[in-house]
Structure 1
């Protein structure tokens, strides 16, 4: 049967060129003969490019030092997969400042490879998608596009089982410690940072993270002093330098911040400086956390092999989805690392709940307008819901923010 994309739907401001017909899927190679077995099959894949506007331009250390412009929106790639038996799943990836059109374009090229496939064969399908775009590589934009599809397949599998994703994976807990980041960016005056911290704690969030890495390191210490005095010693407090410091500055600042009893210092150095992070980890009493900017399991392995952190911070949409996250989590657990996944709490709550050591999940309210269902937060923790899969449904606002959308059908 020939495969053709369903009619494309776009926002009034966007355009979309017609896509070519997708070829009939060939039987999967290998002795298993997976494609010849009876059972449910993927009937359609819908991709949507959604741009979430931020109420206020957001600045961290890289903005204050002129490396980046303030962030004004987040580009998201949504994948919605439906089977011939009527099961469905949703997944998403994202990017900030640049790359949204590229992720969407790559996903459009490879998504038809899923049609006619058994949605349960997630590991095999991840590999098939990688090879569908092999020339682009196995990290960065390519695997971030795959991530949306991979996450949708896991959501579908859990929904079909009638289980929250964490329960399908094998949960160690029904709730996870959570901390807020979105109230502590460097564009926010310190008085507002303190008010934001109070509001977060009153909402039930358990910890507060603020951004550091200003050109004037003394200003960082003044800001941190004010937050610690405001919170008291009992509230978990983290800082994030967003890769701003060189090695000498990171050592000096790490020592100066020991007195604040921080839960961790995040990204003190360039994300790929495993040797420098390892030296800090060995020298400082305060735990070192890093990993959010890395784009694959292999890149994280360099951190693990170098003993470059106490807390690893993978981002499932950035490293290729849940399939790859589970590989990394097994490695991290084997090496006794703690886990604090970056961003995308709607996904990472489930993955953190299935991690053996007590983890943290990062709270950003930014993505909440995209979904009809919101997470329960109380007593310092984020709770799994009873909803199957990821437990999320796209909101009308998310549909309205869609710039391009295309559906491929069997």
Structure 2
């Protein structure tokens, strides 16, 4: 029997490979936070205002995070709050920001977890996760800029444009004749779909308004309605039945946002798709919604904590064959929707336009991803004038 010779191979690193990834990574050296208030041209009312649950929306609070690294890379992200919560989000973001200094900006998942635990005693949803979002989004913007790619391309884009619908012309405070004018303007501008607010105390008024817009648009132009959580299960069933013949793309938030089971039951019962999810503020809530069976999921990256949890929602949604229509913040959601495996919709809001230097490209019913690296936007001089507070951490390189 012959002895088998063994050879010991040394894996000792050479000088060129002596450092580990942890030793060689870039480092965050500066973070800036800003609290900015975007004023709306006129107060906005939906069904929550009509029923006395909320006051008309007059401004939106934005929390911007700017991050810079030792090696000269930078990124920007934002979160937002409507009506209330902006100062609270800003205060918690200031508590979190020092945790980023000295960290490797490549480790986005680890940093999301770290920031989550930094505020864990306040919970893992709501304000605490929303305060993380500006940092997480800024880190993804930085990563894509460093790669020289639009974020959609970095994520592995499925498409270079996303079908786009408009919401802002169909609020309940807008008279029907003006709604019809707004619909015409939107269609002529190249929008791909129209969404109307519903949820009047008298369902007949909703039906009249939606029927008038359907007649104007024709039978096949994409039309959606949004009840903003104003119906119980019985009223929602009646409304869905009444709208069934209008060939709607979806009926949005017919029930309370956390009635996951109820939305799933409506989705099973009616041919018209059911959409919801914009009010949810973490992955776990969206997971419950997805498993309950709604047709369209509508996550909002700033509300769920940023792009990192949004990608988890996308993965589960695609696995369960849910359609995607992210809420608000089209400057961020264009890139995420472009990477979704099932043809999605993007919500168009022109409100944020004055805050950024770069226009978005709407053509033939679709919003097109630009070739600018990262998210592709920078703050305008107007946004700086609307800023009420700032705070910096670390030293700007």
In which range does the TM-score fall when normalised by the shorter chain?
A: over 0.9
Q: Residue 283 of structure 2 corresponds to which residue in structure 1?
A: 297
CA distance in 1, matches of 2:142, 2:292: 37
CA distance in 2, matches of 1:176, 1:227: 23
Offset at residue 301 of structure 1 (A)? 1.1
Pick aligned residue for 2:347 from 349, 352, 362: 362
Offset at residue 34 of structure 1 (A)? 8.3
Alignment of 1:255-334 (within 5 A): 255-307=241-293, 309-334=294-319
CA distance in 2, matches of 1:389, 1:279: 39
CA distance in 2, matches of 1:306, 1:220: 27
CA distance in 1, matches of 2:59, 2:103: 35
SS at match of 2:242: helix
CA distance in 1, matches of 2:357, 2:20: 36
SS at match of 1:367: helix
Q: Residue 140 of structure 1 corresponds to which residue in structure 2?
A: 126
1:347 lines up with 2:347 in the alignment: no
Corresponding pairs, count: 377
Greater Cα radius of gyration, structure 1 or 2: 2
CA distance in 2, matches of 1:202, 1:386: 25
1:117 lines up with 2:103 in the alignment: yes
Q: Residue 8 of structure 2 corresponds to which residue in structure 1?
A: none
Q: Residue 24 of structure 1 corresponds to which residue in structure 2?
A: none
Q: Residues 131 and 34 of structure 1: is their aligned pair in 2 closer, same or farther, counting only changes over 3 Å?
A: farther
Q: Residue 322 of structure 2 corresponds to which residue in structure 1?
A: 337
CA distance in 1, matches of 2:57, 2:20: 45
SS at match of 2:104: coil
> Are the counterparts in 1 of residues 35 and 63 from structure 2 also a CA contact under 8 Å?
yes
Q: Residue 233 of structure 1 corresponds to which residue in structure 2?
A: 219
Q: Deviations over 1:157-184 (max 9, x none)?
A: 0001000000000000000000000111
Pick aligned residue for 2:148 from 140, 159, 162: 162
Alignment of 1:123-272 (within 5 A): 123-272=109-258
CA distance in 1, matches of 2:224, 2:22: 52
CA distance in 2, matches of 1:329, 1:36: 29
Pick aligned residue for 2:63 from 58, 77, 95: 77
1:59 lines up with 2:45 in the alignment: yes
Offset at residue 403 of structure 1 (A)? 0.8
Q: Deviations over 1:244-281 (max 9, x none)?
A: 00111100110110111000000000000112111111
Q: Residue 13 of structure 2 corresponds to which residue in structure 1?
A: none
Offset at residue 234 of structure 1 (A)? 2.1
CA distance in 2, matches of 1:54, 1:253: 31
CA distance in 2, matches of 1:345, 1:352: 9
Offset at residue 111 of structure 1 (A)? 0.6
TM-score by length of 1: 0.91
CA distance in 1, matches of 2:291, 2:366: 31
> Are the counterparts in 2 of residues 315 and 343 from structure 1 also a CA contact under 8 Å?
yes
Q: Residue 89 of structure 1 corresponds to which residue in structure 2?
A: 75
> Are the counterparts in 2 of residues 338 and 359 from structure 1 also a CA contact under 8 Å?
yes
> Are the counterparts in 2 of residues 35 and 117 from structure 1 also a CA contact under 8 Å?
no
> Are the counterparts in 1 of residues 28 and 67 from structure 2 also a CA contact under 8 Å?
yes
Q: Which consecutive segments of 4 or more residues in structure 1 shift more than 3 A?
A: 33-36
Offset at residue 219 of structure 1 (A)? 0.4
Q: Residue 21 of structure 1 corresponds to which residue in structure 2?
A: none
Q: Deviations over 1:320-352 (max 9, x none)?
A: 100000001000000000000000000000000
Q: Deviations over 1:45-81 (max 9, x none)?
A: 0000000000000000010111110000000000000
Offset at residue 39 of structure 1 (A)? 2.7
CA distance in 1, matches of 2:84, 2:29: 31
SS at match of 1:342: coil
SS at match of 2:24: coil
